Homo-oligomer: A and B are copies of this chain.
């Protein structure tokens, strides 16, 4: 994993991929699969929808820290596996052969097998809608990884892999933040 400039980290979530979110409750790390995410600010700030139904939620609220790990398409079965069992009775890192790596600014681990990882601090929580706001504080990209297509959850049990890339940089120039 190589350091990615923080001002570029929003481009990892803007395309709307399904992600893995790690937490650490002080005793052990856990992972949840989340598809309901959104960029809120370029700095970056992200929103995710979660709640007490996720075992990770208690650790996220208590420690106010997590890592958003972005899997590529070759991790689909781990993404589904992580999303269909619970940290209450499963060590998900062991179960799905995922490797926790030490993060730089949070106790929650990076996931080595993922394409990218964003270390985050919880900065706000909208209880009414179950929306957690996260400030990205460090970002990492596996620049050596060959499979870089992201995965999108449809919500009906199917997923879509990234396809063709389409360049509209010139037409979009007036709307892009500096240095992206």
Known: A14-B36, A80-B171, A172-B84. A160 touches B166 (CB 8 A): yes
CA distance A167 to B76 in the complex (A): 10
- Closest B-chain residue to A126, C-beta based? B126
Residues of B with C-beta under 8 A to A49: 38-41, 47
Q: How many copies does the complex hold?
A: 2
Which of B37, B48, B133 is in CB contact (< 8 Å) with A129? Answer: B133
Shortest C-beta distance, A173 to chain B (Å), equals 7
Contact B168 A158 (CB under 8 A): yes
CA distance A158 to B14 in the complex (A): 11
Residues of B with C-beta under 8 A to A17: 16
CA distance A162 to B155 in the complex (A): 15
Sorted from nearest, which 4 A-B pairs have the closest CB atoms? A16-B16, A163-B163, A157-B169, A38-B38
Given A14-B152, A40-B130, A160-B165, 10 more pairs with CB closer than 8 A: A14-B36, A15-B160, A16-B152, A37-B38, A39-B155, A40-B49, A155-B176, A157-B172, A157-B176, A159-B166
